[in-house]
Structure 1
């Protein structure tokens, strides 16, 4: 369902349904709680603290996470004991049937704006909670709605939702770690990881130019560091031209695309002195393990979507249109002009400042 259709149908449905549904009391002792989180590794990781908070608040309840194919691996990494169920929300009628078959006592919709998921929650459980963006009628579809604000980080919105349903604070990301995933990891000392590819509808706008990655890689290698480019197998196509143009020794700059599971990548991110990444799920995976990172932001602002790790730094493009993305569906005529204004000189300087502040993790000067 397109966003325009989602909004048109959802707004009409909210107006028609809300007069016939009064808010009902939240279940005191739910047997099964269903959480809707259909997309994105990063969004799932940011919501991990809320999911753990719900588990602590309702220890006897079964927690079901309705997810999609793109975030299945992230759901498996949640610290909370959950039952993952893949649901296709592109067809709301089928999604409602799938959710109702699970017999939830309450549903919490973790998505910020789609009417489709709110309608699914409305029709699939005796009680539901979710977000109401400014100027939206979406909140009318829930028994309890929480304002969704674009002037704060998404983890703060999720924290507000967690507090509203009585689950308590949820600002700390909570994932499970797999020590066995450390087997066969590359040596982390002096290794700077770079992640060049974002997912989602705004992937092209979030991309940093090849020539900027080339300049950054050359600058890091000149200072004695190794550079490893991470990604799924398909990301190798984006990394190949960077390595080709940079023309650096193969043991100093190389591709790790397709060579690490998400669990293994988490372990490596916890150990390396630095990750440099566009705004995507890997940046939030680093935050979940308190990793050291620099996030490169253009369409999004770091204050809204950046890493929440205390050891991370977000660099925003100075382009006046920067930060136009609040939810992910927005567009701008200058969208692909924003990231190029974040210069490699600025990123390299910030990277070296962070690396030099970690003497025990610096590369060998003789490398």
Structure 2
């Protein structure tokens, strides 16, 4: 489940080209193109979701808000190959257009294939996305003016991106030019979740652990496997079943992790064996979820599952879980420097190892105990 965005992030040359060429083209475009006014009574809205799966889940706020405030609106999502699948979990989408971002001619054709009244670009920094928004068949365009990214010149309405705010808040600011649209939380965009597969229900109570990140320098955002094995053993000794989730590509690692735990413990790998709808159901039915900062973490948070989220390089303030039953953890030093996703220092980053098993286990116990406490009258 990869998009072209991690490829741009991991290549300094690609970012330089995107910045130099993209800035020049967009600035020239903005100089000679008159900014347009918002159309009267817009009906068809386009949302450009080319970012990671986590971003797309958080940007579900736009889908929920447009759907609830404008019941007759048509919502068209322009997605990348890497995040298109997650959109099946959303309600209220009229259609999805896949844009092949690494093939410019086909990308231009795709973005122009469906005319819209208003196009909203959720991208925070790629100028390529801003260019595609500018050439779309849209009567009005909205996108971010991100500090230092010089990408906002060609939008009809540029919304200041706040580097101190959680990204849900930034996404919701993109709705500010639309009168009468009230911002709703992203979980309101999700379809109802069904029951988990029978074999999960039979092993309840169970805990889901999701050790794998993805994208640029993903290893820097993963907790060491021996620490996962220690945590899993402690959870199993409480009488809990544990499932290790992941993508099909994570399956060998997940099975190796499960096998590294003591023989006889109720730990199994479910990596690569669940559809997205099944994964949502499994997360919703879990006694607790422990995950690194990734799309699965955000999905668990939106489902309001008791969650312990492990952050290292990624800022909790910017990208932490939004669920009211979430605990976000990070090392006290040398961490949380990622805001847009590519701001790594030179050299190896190993701050995740500073999060101790004792801390994580205590947080999981806290989540489990909160579930057992009676609700206030």
Q: TM-score, normalised to structure 1's length?
A: 0.92
How many residues are treated as equivalent by the alignment?
358
For residue 183 of structure 1, report the CA deviation from its aligned partner: 4.1
CA RMSD of aligned residues (A): 2.0
Q: 1:130 aligns with which of 143, 157, 160?
A: 143
Cα deviation digits, residues 341-366 of structure 1 (max 9, x gap): 111121111111221222289xxxxx
* Correspondence for 2:223: 208
Distance 1:93 1:240 in 2: 41
* Correspondence for 2:174: 161
* Correspondence for 2:49: 37
Distance 2:274 2:177 in 1: 38
Gaps of 5+ in 2: 1-7, 9-13
For residue 178 of structure 1, report the CA deviation from its aligned partner: 4.2
Contact 1:132 1:145 in 2 (8 A): yes
Aligned counterparts, 1:340-359, within 5 A: 340-359=353-372
Q: 2:259 aligns with which of 238, 244, 265?
A: 244
Distance 1:347 1:108 in 2: 39
Q: TM-score, normalised to structure 2's length?
A: 0.89
Aligned counterparts, 1:303-342, within 5 A: 303-320=317-334, 322-342=335-355
Cα deviation digits, residues 92-113 of structure 1 (max 9, x gap): 4432222222122221101111
Structure 1 residues 265-274 or 86-95, which shifts more? 86-95
Gaps of 5+ in 1: 362-367
Contact 1:196 1:238 in 2 (8 A): no
Q: Say if 2:213 is the partner of 1:198.
A: yes
* Correspondence for 1:79: 91
Distance 1:354 1:178 in 2: 21
* Correspondence for 1:365: none
Q: 1:108 aligns with which of 96, 102, 120?
A: 120
Q: Say if 2:261 is the partner of 1:258.
A: no
Contact 2:47 2:76 in 1 (8 A): yes
Q: 1:121 aligns with which of 100, 114, 133?
A: 133
Aligned counterparts, 1:291-310, within 5 A: 291-310=305-324
Q: Say if 2:126 is the partner of 1:98.
A: no
* Correspondence for 1:275: 289
Give the match's secondary structure for 1:16. Answer: helix
* Correspondence for 1:364: none
